[in-house]
């Protein structure tokens, strides 16, 4: 396969069969400038930049001793976290609620055919995930995605009326959820605890690289992006047939040669409403005992087809499923069940053990798409698609509207406890609204960091990844997502709800 850059009519790369011939096909993929790396445009710092030189400040505050039950207070010098959003802004103290809620009763209510991008059954995907979890746990753990990939091994369900009520009380102006006891929100720490998404790490830059970036070598004649990345484009080109792109099911069957162990659950649109815990969740049930599929003849078929050398097969195989996992579970797009070539570069980097700040761009996507839902004149036609299964897990964690799945391994990420078909408890429309009006304040700090004694943590570069992540999750800032030619920037205000 040949890869070439073209500048007109829009920057793109062209993939063609190097053997040529009358029947040779040509595939064009739009190229956008990366935000980071060697080929990124130079960054000019702006005045009033939101970068924090110091995370903390010392202020004199009125405090109450934690070690006693006394209500007596005294003035003390304390350390407070700085904010990149509103330091020195007196308006933030007002905690206004500047929004008109989602019209829960409007006649245009209809969940789109994409189900907002929720995780559901795809033939052979769960089997492929099990295979990768068994054989490459060390690589996935080093990249900080083992638990996040594990969570995609399940399906996640919802109660439609609970979703309606949730949208009604969500404020897109502040990215917070309004309850009688105050504001709540989905936080970076929630995504870390519920979904295993790392908060620290490199910026997630989802763009198709240029041919120059794919083929350039450094001073030591080492490629900037090793051949494993190019092989993902070769596989995409090999499977691609028309302008609809590459379907996820075709991508899975090209790479994964194992058998199908799991059958599809009943169609959700035709099933009956249930008011009791289901006997069958249709979740995968096999253990993750290691076995060696790599020695079977069928395993090598895709690598032989693409002439991939033996030294690159492991990383290419891992990168192929990571690309599928990103498109299906981590960050689904409006083209549901399609593979996006723009994820190939970050998928390859993860396959080498590189860590990315997944929680940040996932939360940016969630905030952005919730705004689209709240403002949508016709929900059924708005085409909103995002990883809403993380929202389901958040609702289940804080409001007990799911049957807890006792069949999953409790040592893994919490969101799997709310997985499975029909595990969402059914509520009528009026009942669902009451759920969010009767909030128990004692249930709110379920996922917060707790210690039995007072501790002082200093961000001196020696903190563990977990503590660093906690620091970041408590700071008001902006969340960013770069996807092709789209930049999403969302406000993150833990000062409004972490109290």
Question: Mind listing the pLDDT tens digit for each residue in 315-364?
Answer: 999 999 999 999 999 999 888 889 999 999 999 999 999 999 999 999 99
Q: Could you tell me the pLDDT band of residue 64, with boundaries at 50, 70 and 90?
A: low
295: pLDDT strictly greater than 90: no
Contact 228, 348 (CB under 8 A): yes
Percent of the chain with pLDDT over 70: 83
- Average model confidence (pLDDT) for the chain? 83
Most confident of 22-26, 53-57, 123-127: 123-127
Q: Which of 106, 221, 104, 207 is nearest to 163 (CA)?
A: 104
| pTM, 2 dp | 0.87
Whether residue 441 is predicted with pLDDT greater than 80 in this model: the reply is: no
Tokens representing 179? 């309850």
Q: What is the pLDDT of residue 272?
A: 61
Q: What is the pLDDT of residue 492?
A: 93
pLDDT of residue 35: 87
Query: What is the pLDDT, as a whole number, of residue 43?
Result: 66
Q: Tens digits of per-residue pLDDT, 225-268?
A: 877 889 999 999 999 988 889 999 999 999 999 888 898 888 77
| pLDDT score, position 36 | 83
Task: DSSP for 404-443, please give it.
Answer: --TTS-TTS-GGGGGBSTT-BPP--HHHHHHHTTS--GGG
pLDDT in tens, 91-114: 444 444 444 555 555 545 677 767
Radius of gyration (C-alpha) of the chain in whole angstroms: 24
For tokens 């919490």, the residue is: 414
Lowest model confidence (mean pLDDT) among 7-11, 37-41, 300-304: 37-41
Among the ranges given (217-221, 476-480, 488-492), the one the predictor scored with the smallest mean pLDDT: 217-221
For residues 112 and 160, what is the distance between their CA atoms, to the nearest angstrom? 12
Q: What is the pLDDT of residue 115?
A: 79
């Amino acid at each position: 396969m040949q890869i070439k850059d073209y500048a007109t009519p829009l920057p793109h790369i062209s993939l063609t069969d190097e053997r040529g011939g009358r029947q040779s096909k040509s595939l064009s993929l739009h190229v956008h400038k990366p935000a980071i790396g060697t080929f990124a445009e130079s960054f000019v710092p702006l005045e009033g930049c939101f970068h924090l030189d110091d995370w903390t400040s010392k202020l004199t505050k009125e405090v109450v001793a934690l070690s006693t039950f006394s209500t007596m207070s005294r003035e003390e010098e304390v350390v407070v976290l700085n904010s990149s959003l509103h330091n020195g802004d007196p308006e933030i103290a007002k905690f206004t609620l500047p929004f008109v809620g989602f019209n829960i009763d409007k006649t245009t209510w209809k969940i789109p055919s994409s189900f907002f991008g929720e995780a559901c059954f795809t033939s052979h995907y769960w089997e492929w995930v099990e295979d990768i979890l068994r054989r490459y746990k060390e690589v996935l753990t080093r990249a900080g995605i083992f638990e996040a990939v594990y969570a995609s091994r399940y399906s996640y369900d919802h109660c439609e009326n609970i979703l309606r009520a949730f949208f009604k009380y969500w404020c897109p102006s502040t990215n917070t959820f309004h309850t009688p006891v105050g504001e709540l929100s989905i936080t970076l720490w929630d995504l870390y605890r519920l979904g295993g998404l790392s908060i620290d790490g490199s910026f997630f830059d989802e763009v198709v690289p240029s041919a120059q970036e794919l083929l350039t070598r450094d001073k030591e004649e080492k490629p900037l992006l090793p051949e494993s990345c190019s092989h993902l484009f070769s596989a995409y080109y090999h499977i691609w047939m028309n302008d609809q792109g590459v379907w996820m099911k075709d991508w899975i069957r090209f790479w994964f040669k194992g058998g199908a162990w799991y059958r599809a659950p009943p169609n959700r649109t035709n099933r009956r409403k249930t008011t009791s815990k289901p006997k069958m969740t249709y979740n995968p049930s096999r253990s993750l005992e290691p076995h060696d599929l790599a020695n079977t003849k069928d395993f090598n078929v895709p690598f032989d087809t693409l002439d991939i050398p033996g030294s690159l097969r492991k990383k290419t195989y891992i990168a192929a499923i990571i690309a599928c996992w990103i498109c299906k579970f981590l960050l689904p797009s409006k083209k549901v069940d399609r593979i996006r070539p723009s994820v190939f570069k970050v998928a390859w980097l993860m396959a080498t053990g590189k860590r990315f700040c997944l929680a940040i761009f996932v939360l940016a996507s969630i905030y952005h798409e919730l705004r689209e839902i709240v403002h949508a004149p016709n929900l059924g036609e708005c085409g909103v698609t995002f990883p809403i299964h993380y929202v389901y897990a958040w609702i289940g964690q804080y409001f007990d509207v799911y049957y807890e799945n006792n069949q999953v391994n409790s040592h893994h990420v919490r969101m799997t406890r709310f997985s499975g078909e029909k595990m969402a408890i059914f509520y009528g429309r009026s009942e669902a609204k009451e759920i969010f009006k009767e909030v128990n304040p004692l249930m709110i700090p379920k996922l917060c960091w707790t210690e039995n004694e007072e501790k002082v943590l200093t961000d001196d570069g020696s903190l563990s990844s977990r503590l660093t992540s906690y620091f970041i999750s408590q700071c008001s800032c902006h969340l960013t997502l770069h996807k092709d030619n789209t930049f999403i920037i969302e406000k993150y205000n833990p000062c409004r709800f972490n109290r």
